[in-house]
Amino acid sequence: MSAKRRIAVLGATGSIGSSALDVIARHPERFQVTTLSAHRGVDALLALCQKFQPQRAVIADCALLDTLAAGLRTAGLTTEPLAGPDALIAAATASDTDTVIAAIVGAAGMASTLAAAQAGKRLLLANKESVVLAGALLMDAAARSGAQIIPIDSEHNAIFQCLPVAGDRLKGVRRLVLTASGGPFRGKQRVDLETITPEQACAHPNWVMGRKISVDSATLMNKGLEVIEAHWLFGLPPERIEVLVHPQSIVHSLVDYADGSMLAQLGLPDMRTALAQALAWPERVESGVGALDLARLGHLDFEPPDRLTFPCLDLAYHALQLGGTAGAIVNAANEVAVSAFLQGQLCFLGIAELIARTLDKVPVTAANNIDALLAADHASRAAATHHLNILESN
Ligand code: NAD
Ligand code: MG
pLDDT in tens, 300-333: 999 999 999 999 999 999 999 999 999 999 999 9
Of 84-98, 204-218, 293-307, 333-347, the range with the lowest mean pLDDT is: 204-218
Q: Is the CB of 128 under 6 A from ligand 1?
A: yes
SS3 annotation, 50-107: HHHCCCEEEECCHHHHHHHHHHHHHCCCCCEEEECHHHHHHHHHCCCCCEEEECCCCH
* pTM, full prediction: 0.97
Share of the chain above pLDDT 70, in %: 99
Q: What is the pLDDT of residues 180-193, one digit of tens each?
A: 999 999 999 999 99
Q: Is the CB of 271 under 6 A from ligand 1?
A: yes
Q: Which residue's CA is the nearest one to ligand 1's atom 15?
A: 39
Per the domain annotation, does 277 fall within a domain?
Answer: no
Per the domain annotation, does 244 fall within a domain?
Answer: no
Burial 237-265 (b: 16+ CB within 10 A, else e): ebebbbbbbbbbbbbbbbbbeeeeeeebb
Summarize the confidence of residues 230-239 as an average pLDDT: 97
Q: Is the CB of 129 under 6 A from ligand 1?
A: yes
The ligand 1 atom at the shortest distance from the C-alpha of residue 13 is: 9
In this predicted model, which residue has the larger pLDDT, 43 or 1? 43
Q: Is the CB of 38 under 6 A from ligand 1?
A: yes
Task: Report whether pLDDT(260) > 80.
Answer: yes
Q: Are 128 and 153 in contact (CB under 8 A)?
A: yes
Ranges of beta strands (E only) in the chain are 5-10, 31-38, 56-59, 80-83, 99-102, 122-125, 149-151, 173-180, 241-245, 251-257, 262-266
Q: Which residue's CA is the nearest one to ligand 1's atom 22?
A: 39
Per the domain annotation, does 66 fall within a domain?
Answer: yes
Per the domain annotation, does 85 fall within a domain?
Answer: yes
- 225 Cα to the center of ligand 2, angstroms: 9
Q: Is the CB of 198 under 6 A from ligand 1?
A: no
Q: Is the CB of 273 under 6 A from ligand 1?
A: no
Q: What is the pLDDT of residues 66-94, one digit of tens each?
A: 999 999 999 999 999 999 999 999 999 99
Per the domain annotation, does 80 fall within a domain?
Answer: yes
Q: Are 145 and 123 in contact (CB under 8 A)?
A: no
Instruction: Name the domain count of the chain.
Output: 1
- 273 Cα to the center of ligand 2, angstroms: 13
Per the domain annotation, does 347 fall within a domain?
Answer: no
Per the domain annotation, does 236 fall within a domain?
Answer: no
The strand pairing partners of 59, in sequence order, are 38, 83
Q: Are 281 and 303 in contact (CB under 8 A)?
A: no
Q: Which residues contact 62 (CB under 8 A, 6 or more apart)?
A: 83, 84
Q: Is the CB of 223 under 6 A from ligand 1?
A: no
Could you give the CA distance from residue 365 to residue 59 in angstroms, rounded to a whole number? 34
User: Of 13, 15, 112, 113, which is best to mutate to test ligand 1, by the most ligand atoms within 8 angstroms of its C-beta?
Assistant: 15
Q: Is the CB of 204 under 6 A from ligand 1?
A: no
Task: Report whether pLDDT(1) > 70.
Answer: no
Q: Is the CB of 274 under 6 A from ligand 1?
A: no
Could you give the CA distance from residue 140 to residue 389 in angstroms, rounded to a whole number? 38
DSSP SS3 for 393? helix
- The ligand minimizing its distance to the Cα of 158 is 2
Query: Around Cβ 288, how many Cβ atoms within 10 Å?
Result: 14
- 141 Cα to the center of ligand 1, angstroms: 23
The ligand 1 atom at the shortest distance from the C-alpha of residue 207 is: 40
Which of 273, 275, 312, 61 is closest to 193 using CA atoms?
312
- 153 Cα to the center of ligand 2, angstroms: 5
Q: Is the CB of 247 under 6 A from ligand 1?
A: no
Q: Is the CB of 327 under 6 A from ligand 1?
A: no
Per the domain annotation, does 74 fall within a domain?
Answer: yes
CATH classification at residue 71: 3.40.50.720
The ligand 1 atom at the shortest distance from the C-alpha of residue 40 is: 11
Task: Report whether pLDDT(54) > 80.
Answer: yes
- 15 Cα to the center of ligand 1, angstroms: 7
Domain that holds residue 93: 5-151
Q: Is the CB of 243 under 6 A from ligand 1?
A: no
DSSP SS3 for 206? coil
